[in-house]
Amino acid sequence: MAFDVATEAWLCGLTAFEMARRLVDDDDPKSGDISARVATDIQRFGLSLRQKLERVQIACDDQIEFPAYYLSAGNPEICAPAVICISGEQETGVRLLGRLLPAVTGRGMSILVISHDDVSTRLGVQPDMLLSCCLDYVSAQPDTDATRVGVYGEGLSAALATDFAASDSRVAAAVCDGGLWNWARMLASVGWMTKAADVIDEDVVSRLRSRLVRQLRCPVLVVAGGRGIVSVSEAIKLQADCVAARIDIELAIPRMIRSPAGEIENFVSYDDCIFEWLEHKLAHRG
């Protein structure tokens, strides 16, 4: 009982640190201090969790290796689902881990948390290949059901998650951008080259908008608004296109909290929503 109370207090502390970090500017020295404190607390208290938390190395070949955090599901006798979580751009993996621990702990799933920079900035190496190595690592864990591994991309990593889910059929669920980042870039290129915004009719627009998400063979959750890269209006259009094509896609729109510093994303309910969806989609199917 005392252990559970201490764990709950520690997780609440991580949430408080995340809220404090969002109340200061990213270039404020205090932001770095808060992130460092989160990393220290994870190292100090992470080993006391019922779920084993460890820092691991993901190896793709003899020359490529990068760090990650692995949180086991907590019951070695049961093969549980797992989620590969990719931090947003300019965000460390440990910072994302500190935010997600309160939402994940006790859900009976494993997570592998990696940094956006570690999988997106290697010359000559596609992110898809590195993420497939992450999936190989997770699938090889004795407490993981290799048929129930999902991917979650934060911020710009939502586009990486879409591309990865489209390229690797083992992905069982994806929290991603649904291809809208690539769609926006393509639309901007067409507009720039033709100097016209209405060169494509609406039926063609609909097919192109949902072209990438049609390649995914798993359920999809698109996060729109807030600090993400997907606009709410485009996400709603994409969902309408996919519903017409009978594609399993849902939307999550983070709630915003008003504060003296401006609007702040309600990341607590946002994270709970995402992992409830993942828990449901990665559940056993009879």
pTM of structure: 0.83
pLDDT at 11 over 60: no
Q: What is the pLDDT of residues 58-95, one digit of tens each?
A: 999 878 899 999 999 877 778 999 999 999 988 888 88
Lowest mean pLDDT among 106-110, 186-190, 220-224, 225-229: 186-190
| Measured distance CA(112)–CA(115) in Å, rounded | 10
Average model confidence (pLDDT) across the chain: 81
Backbone angles phi, psi at 250, to 5 degrees: -130, 160
According to the model, what pLDDT value does residue 191 have? 56
If one counts the domains in the chain, the total is 1
Residue 47 belongs to some domain of the structure: no
Q: How far apart are CA 230 and CA 224, in angstroms?
A: 5
Q: Is residue 203 part of a domain?
A: yes
Alpha carbon distance 134, 182 (integer Å): 23
Phi-psi region of 225 (alpha: psi -120 to 50; beta: other; left: phi over 0): left
Is residue 12, in this structure, part of any structural domain at all?
no
Assess contact for 13 and 45: CB atoms under 8 A: no
Residue 10 lies in a domain: no
Average pLDDT over residues 28-39: 58
**Of 99 and 23, which is predicted with more confidence?**
99
Domain assignment present for 171: yes
SS3 113: strand
- pLDDT tens-digit readout, 12-28: 555 555 655 555 655 65
Tell me the residue range of the domain where 261 lies. Answer: 52-281
Among candidate residues 89, 98, 118, the one with its CA nearest the CA of residue 39: 98
Residue 126: CB atoms within 10 A of its CB come to 14
Whether 45 is in a domain gets the answer no
Write the CATH number for 108.
3.40.50.1820
Numbers of helices and strands, H then E, in the chain: 10, 10
Say how far apart CA 118 and CA 185 lie, in whole Å.
23
Distance from C-alpha of 177 to C-alpha of 36, rounded to nearest angstrom: 29
pLDDT at 98: 84
Judge whether 270 lies within some domain. yes
pLDDT band of residue 210 (cuts 50, 70, 90) is: confident
Q: Answer whether residue 19 is part of any domain.
A: no
- Confidence check: pLDDT of 9 > 60: no
Whether residue 8 has pLDDT greater than 60: no
pLDDT value of residue 286: 42
Predicted confidence band of residue 3 (pLDDT cuts 50, 70, 90): very low
